Amino acid sequence: MRHVTDDDDPYLWLEDVLGEEALAWVAERNAETEAELAADPGFLPLKERLRDVLDASDRIPYTARRGAYLYNFWRDAHHVRGVWRRTTPEQYRKDDPDWEVLLDVDALAAAEDEKWVWAGARVRRPDLDRALVMLSRDGGDAVVVREFDLATRAFVEDGFQVPEAKTRIGWIDADTVLLGTDHGPGSLTDAGYPRTVRRWRRGTPLEEAETVFEAEASDVSAWGRYDTTPGYERAFVGRSLDFYRSETYLLREDSTLVRLDVPEDAEAYAHRDHLVVTLKSPWLGQPAGALLAFGFDAFLAGDRTPRVLFTPDERTALAGHVWTRHHLVLEVMRDVSTHIEVLTPAPGGEWTREPLADVPPFSAAGIVDTDSDVSDEYFLDVSGFLQPSTLYHGHIGGGSEVLKQAPARFDTSGLFVRQHFARSADGTRVPYFVIGPDPAAGGPGPTLLYGYGGFEVSLTPSYGAVTGRAWLERGGTYVIANIRGGGEYGPAWHQAALRAERPRAFEDFAAVAADLVARGITTPAMLGALGGSNGGLLMGAMLTRYPELFGAIVAQVPLLDMLRFHKLLAGASWTAEYGDPDVAADRPHLRDLSPYHQLSADRSCPPVLLMTSTRDDRVHPGHARKAAARLRALGHPVLFHENTGGGHAGASDNEQAAHNRALVHTFLWRNLAPAGA
């Protein structure tokens, strides 16, 4: 059978997101899926148990410190769209804190007859009296912005307001913001993000905002940020040339620009007296993955002598870092388990180093909040696959205490966590985690393999209550594959699967699947695969390259048409990851990568569930729609479900999330579990 080409694609009409014919097709497919899965006797009980997890009132309410208050956004059964609220540190220590509700999104949505979804807020420093609140229509990436008064708990009638767009905005002072948004023709990049940074003063029309920086149309975006640290107030602007390369400039008060002369693929920012640089490629004799610090003023004057704060090795990578007032906290991964270290700058430019806390094996630990302007306070979250989160509060040098403990959400009796390593096709050692019963006791069983493999995203241990209830409690085994394309071993691990090398990620995932069978954990008929977004591309690759390894596949908000992805919504921003279909040298490998173009009637496929959202303005729903239509035409077993809202997350509230996840796990269990299980 002739493969589909860009010129004879019979399903382009499904890319019309709100087209009448396309939505009618979606409604028919949704009805088929609901009839097949939601009618299952176990569906509603499962959905109720998952909704109970998502709505639970005894979840840890994670917060962000802003002066005297701790801020939190909260959803539960009584607050479907959620409330933005705050409390004091003293109240937060209580089991049932007294929260001051600032904004009730459910009430706002009802009053304005709009499906508002919370998208965050920028609280103005140092006064902490106003915020720029961002609201999305039904979960899309585009937002409206409104100024909010924290004292009166109301929107400012004549305050800063920005119409719906993929806006970037931040405070300079009480009457000025740095803004990137849609100002009309020519103001957006080809990827649909802001092309200009403008200084907008209170009381002036939006169209009169002063342009202080402009990117190229071919760039991903322009951005601006104002550092409000007392004594270090300064503005920075820049442009993202692609997903990984950027230029950063100091914007002086006279509007002149001073470029920070670091490699384009490095991440660099100023913090007080320091310029901090994370390397993605070797520079100044230091390897990719290293973390460097310079004196900021000395660097601008030409000094290129770094203080090396972290150096990776073949098993260790930097997962992240965060500042307190006097210290830098590093999150370091060694074979995908986290360690926490504290670095302290000392007189003379040296830095001291000591561990912050012991973290159990196969765990993830991360600093969830600090207030770097004021103190050395930190909030540390520690969890594992079978251990619910524990939130610690402490001060560096002053000890810590358990502040909150999440309750167990599923029965872990008889469950174990193990880490194994598979050998990929080129001999690379690929780690993966197995969570489930001991196969030696019961033999092979239903197993769900999850992966992502892109954009330097690391999959670290965490407590998954939904997966626990929906899969592990029923006797299933859950597996996370740390394949190339991710960041588990630093930049080299990511770069090994870039562009034409993307099949290395596919080979890694297939190697893990085969290793699971070789170890007796499962069989191909009982092995399912799950991934979303870029992980949806991975699922498409499994479907077209390794269908014999799996008994069922689920792809959520997937990327599947690799010859048109750059023309759909934010797709143009991902060409650095995959390649550019409009470049002759890239098009052959993109055709080879493209699951949509590799589908054929000549090779059998396991049952497939494709899920997307009409409101996904990041990965176009046309990817999943067209693939479902083509699979149907070729006679392959496929179900399709498109949520009308939810954006790239696929759901805008807990009801939708529970429904979607119940569909997924009902589909997987029906196809993978032995009869009668």
620 is catalytic: no
Contact 138, 652 (CB under 8 A): yes
* Phi then psi dihedrals of residue 441, to 5 deg: -85, -35
Q: Could you check whether the bond before residue 126 is cis, i.e. omega within 30 degrees of 0?
A: yes
**Alpha-carbon span 135 to 122, nearest angstrom:** 12
Fill in the amino acid letter for 273.
D
Catalytic status, residue 648: yes
Considering the candidates 187, 533, 594, 652, report the single residue annotated as catalytic: 533
Nearest C-alpha neighbor of 556 from the set 635, 452, 472: 452
Query: Considering only CA atoms, which of 523, 527, 520, 488 is closest in space to residue 505?
Result: 488
- Report how far apart the first and last C-alpha atoms of the chain are (Å, whole number): 39
CB atoms within 10 A of CB 82: 20
3-state secondary structure of 613: strand
Which amino acid is it at 300? L
DSSP, collapsed to helix, strand or coil, labels residue 483 as: coil
Region of 309 on the Ramachandran plot (φ > 0 left; ψ -120 to 50 alpha; else beta):
alpha
Closest by CA to 579, choosing from 565, 599, 558, 568, is: 565
What SS3 state is found at 473? coil
Residues in Cβ contact with 186 at an 8 Å cutoff, skipping those fewer than 6 apart? 195, 217
63/88 Cα distance (integer angstroms): 11
Q: Cα–Cα distance between 562 and 564 in angstroms, integer?
A: 6
Catalytic one among 327, 648, 659, 665? Answer: 648
Q: Are 274 and 293 in contact (CB under 8 A)?
A: yes
Query: Which residues have a catalytic role annotated?
Result: 533, 648
